Amino acid sequence: MKVENAVLPPMQQAMEFFGAPEEGPFVMVNLLKFKPKAEYADGSDAHLSGREAYARYGAEVAKLVEALGGRIHYSGEVTGLMIGEVEALWDMVALAEYPSLAAFREMAMSPEMAAIEHHRKAGLAGQLNIKTKPLG
């Protein structure tokens, strides 16, 4: 299995994701890897760690998720690996529930998201976003 962290999806992957049929509520599994130091494009806040920069994004994105009727189910630090093998563990896992793909798309394309995205880019070395659908 090939695993490749990324900060932004390639255009084709994003188009396929957002072009999928609407299936109602889903939970996004976020596997996050942080940069050792924040890297803001303007050079500001170089004293912050990547985790601290991402925390700024996380606090604001949680408000956006809740405003569209979703919620953050869980977020926590990765502390170990019991089964399997990866080159490097992720630093954090977060589970966010969205009411629909349309709501997620609306949030992702919103001016509010654009206003906080720089914190995400400054802090993340890469991530995996895995869309899941509840059973039953």
pLDDT (tens place) for every residue of the chain, 136 residues total:
677 888 888 899 989 998 888 889 999 999 999 999 999 999 999 999 999 999 999 999 999 999 999 999 999 999 999 999 988 999 999 999 999 999 999 999 999 999 999 999 999 999 999 999 988 7
Residue ranges per domain, the chain?
Answer: 23-132
Please give the backbone phi and psi of residue 68, each rounded to the nearest 5 degrees, phi first: -95, 5
Percent helix / strand / coil, the chain, rounded to 5: 35, 25, 40
* Neighbour count for residue 67 (Cβ, 10 Å): 12
Whole-model pTM? 0.91
CA–CA distance, 116 with 112 (Å, rounded to integer): 7
Nearest alpha-carbon partner for 30 in 68, 70, 82, 67: 70
* Local structure of residue 41 (DSSP, 8 states): T
- For the domain made up of 23-132, the CATH class stated in words is alpha beta
